[in-house]
Homo-oligomer: A and B are copies of this chain.
Amino acid sequence: MEIVSPDTEVDVIRIEKGPTSIETFHDEAFSIPEVLKLVNKFKTQYDAIIINCFGDPGVHAARELANIPIIGPGATSMHVAALLGHKFAVISIMKNAGPWTEMQARETGLEGKLAYAVGIDIPVLELEANENRTVEEIIKEGKKAIEEYKAEVIVLGCCGMIRVAKTIETRLKVPVIEPVATSLAVAEALVRTGLKHSRAHLYMYPNLSKIMRYKQ
């Protein structure tokens, strides 16, 4: 069975400027305007948009712009993880990933379900080049998460870990959430049920003409 159903199509669109990867708040800050320009451009051409980074950059602003589901892989993965066991762990990339993930968990309301959060200290763009080391570091932290911190589910905290996900799951013998696949499946679930974000309080319609001297 495929991750998306036979009647679903997926396109991948890249930002044209901005950071080559997102590892710091600074990287994230420079990615968001570019993400938003794409969301604004494509918001009527798709049924849902996934912002393909675990840090969910610009997800709130994108929801202000669009009336289709905007999927943040971080929040989505954590909610799915919470459905599969008592507590989950997030294993991510840089050393700032521990506290940053805790901040994300607090924002989603799931801090009570987060057993452990850690980075393996391998930059995003080297994850695949060092696939062996990537796998071994994730396994090491995964075992610690399961045995010491009693995590039941491992969330891969980076959208660039897709190639190693199955290996990790086979070796750790617990559910492993790969955020890209999970985001696709949840996006489809939302579209099928006709659900999208609320406009009641948090998400207003932004006034694009207020942004001075930016080309949208």
**Residues of A that sit less than 8 Å from B by CB:** 1-8, 16-21, 23-30, 32-33, 36, 58, 60-61, 63-65, 75-76, 79-80, 82-87, 94-96, 98-100, 102-103, 106-113, 146, 150-153, 173-175, 177-178, 181-182, 185-186, 188-193, 195-204, 206-208, 210-214
Known: A61-B25, A84-B195. A200 touches B3 (CB 8 A): no
Which residues of the partner chain B approach A207 to less than 8 Å between Cβ atoms? 24
Which residues of the partner chain B approach A150 to less than 8 Å between Cβ atoms? 98-99, 200-201
Pairwise interchain contact B36-A26, C-beta atoms closer than 8 A: yes
Known: A33-B29, A109-B82, A189-B186. A201 touches B95 (CB 8 A): yes
Which residues of the partner chain B approach A82 to less than 8 Å between Cβ atoms? 79, 108-109
Pairwise interchain contact A20-B85, C-beta atoms closer than 8 A: no
Q: Which residue of B lies closest to A108 (CB)?
A: B82
Picked from B28, B79, B213, the residue with its CB within 8 Å of the CB of A83 is B79
| Top 6 A-B pairs, shortest CB-CB distance | A5-B5, A26-B206, A152-B198, A185-B189, A85-B198, A86-B99
Copies of chain A in the complex: 6
Pairwise interchain contact A19-B210, C-beta atoms closer than 8 A: yes
Pairwise interchain contact B112-A211, C-beta atoms closer than 8 A: no
The CA of A50 and the CA of B5, in the complex, are separated in Å by 20
Pairwise interchain contact B211-A27, C-beta atoms closer than 8 A: yes
Q: Which of A185, A189, A204 has the most CB of B within 10 A?
A: A189
Which residues of the partner chain B approach A36 to less than 8 Å between Cβ atoms? 26, 29-30
The CA of A94 and the CA of B19, in the complex, are separated in Å by 32
Q: Which of A23, A36, A86, A110 has the most CB of B within 10 A?
A: A86
Picked from B5, B84, B106, B182, the residue with its CB within 8 Å of the CB of A106 is B106
Q: Which residue of B lies closest to A3 (CB)?
A: B192
